[in-house]
Amino acid sequence: MPLTEINFDGIVGPSHNYAGLSFGNVASMGHAGQVSRPRSAALEGIDKMRANLALGLAQGIFLPHPRPHRGWLARLGTSIEEAEPTIAANAMSASPMWAANAATVSPAPDTADRKCHLTVANLRTMPHRSLEWRSTLSQLLVAFRDGAYFQVHPPVPPAFGDEGAANHMRLASGHAEPGLEIFVYGVSGGAFPARQHVEASKAIARLHLLDPGRTVFVQQSEAAIAAGAFHNDVVAVSNERVLFAHEQAFADKQRLLDACQTNVPGFEYVEVAAAEVPLEDAVKSYLFNAQLVSSPDGEMTLVVPTEARETASVWRWIERHLAGNGPIRRVEVVDVRESMANGGGPACLRLRVVADPATIDPRFLADEARLDRIADVVRQHWPEQIAHDALQRPELIADVERARSALLDTLGLSELASA
């Protein structure tokens, strides 16, 4: 079975707006109340997927969730028309676009039953994200329905916060080789909450039947959380045998590096010193919230947002240390400004799954032709702009619901209309 890394990107939904709902996410809070551009946001995401295809990578998609979330509102005894503005904003959030929070994924070589395991994240820390898991579960059960190859788990109990792959990394010498799975949890971060609980991480490791000897739990540093690194993927990213991280990413860096050296042949660590790139610049630029990928020619590429090029300390570090110096041979820049303004960079938009593409429902896999069809729907149906005070207007709500329905029809996934 040819195992391949597939990047599943969330299609930016038609209700994309700036409500500033994510406490601890500096960009989200800083852009609260501004006018969003859902059509541009979705097209930016599609262009990023095209760039991945151009690198020779396998590409998948996840769908926007139903918005407004009428079922959630009904359980609160209200409706989108009558809800208080903050409740309405939660129900209209397009946050499922950040697929890195959809689930935690353990490839088959790491699990005792040799199946790829996926556990849906409960996202219980933020109200607007906590209502995502049912729709995410519905999609995963369709996309990865073949029980011979996949095991899809519902979320761990919400008493323990789980944010999915944004706090999970894997190092391995090859897709078919057993890897070291790294679960990063938080304890505190000054005024900002730590979203990933160690109990959730340990539960997922047990559910995924991981080898305890090849599983490590490491605490995110309090300084990183306090600086706005609400997820580990804002300060660290891994690919194959390479860990790329900020000097202040982890509370006990040496213990993690020792585990990597022991379990990953040829392990390489690329560190960005705080003296060269302060945590605040790393968070602002999303240098680490990048896609670190390997193209078929074996060249490792770091896909960064335009904000990395526009942050002086970050781009200076890249020019001095990357693109030919060490394991990361190439740097590509993508424009995802609409997502960045709401707090999510290139890595936030994708969930990595190592699997044989032939075992996945093909409707969730993308090529240029399918991206063309998605882009046509976006141009025709996605709102051009959304003002924050317009979220409860009947015309906008109708447009948002029609847009998602048109996308499902185009992709042949109407069975997920109510999911």
Q: What is the pLDDT of residues 281-322, one digit of tens each?
A: 999 999 999 999 999 988 999 999 999 999 999 999 999 988
Q: What is the CATH number of the domain that holds 289?
A: 3.75.10.20
State what percent of residues in the chain have pLDDT above 90. Answer: 88
User: Which stretch of DSSP H or E encloses residue 417?
Assistant: none
> Would you state the pLDDT for residue 274?
97
> Would you state the pLDDT for residue 192?
84
Which of the 8 DSSP states describes residue 192? B
> Would you state the pLDDT for residue 13?
98
Per the structure, the count of domains in the chain is 1
- Give me 280's structure tokens: 């605040």
Structural domain boundaries enclosing 362: 4-416
The pLDDT tens digits of the residues spanning 125-164 come to: 999 999 999 999 999 999 999 999 999 999 999 999 999 9
Query: What average pLDDT does this structure show over 58-67?
Result: 98
Q: Is the pLDDT of residue 22 over 90?
A: no
* Full DSSP string of 247-270: TTSBTTHHHHHHHHHHHSTT-EEE
Residues 154 and 272: their CA atoms lie apart, in Å, by: 36
- Asked if residues 27 and 342 have their Cβ atoms less than 8 Å apart, the reply is yes
- Residues with a catalytic annotation lie at 163, 231, 348
- Asked if residues 415 and 409 have their Cβ atoms less than 8 Å apart, the reply is no
- Asked if residues 115 and 135 have their Cβ atoms less than 8 Å apart, the reply is no
- Give me 408's structure tokens: 């499902």
Residues 269 and 245: their CA atoms lie apart, in Å, by: 8
The pLDDT tens digits of the residues spanning 377-394 come to: 999 999 999 998 999 999
Question: Tokens 């709102």 — which residue?
Answer: 383
Sign of the Cα pseudo-torsion (209, 211, 214, 218, in order): positive
pTM of the model: 0.95
Using DSSP's 3-state secondary structure scheme, residue 347 falls into coil
Compute the C-alpha angle 382/134/148, nearest 5°.
Answer: 110
The pLDDT tens digits of the residues spanning 93-133 come to: 999 999 999 999 999 999 999 999 999 999 999 999 999 99
- Asked if residues 163 and 121 have their Cβ atoms less than 8 Å apart, the reply is yes
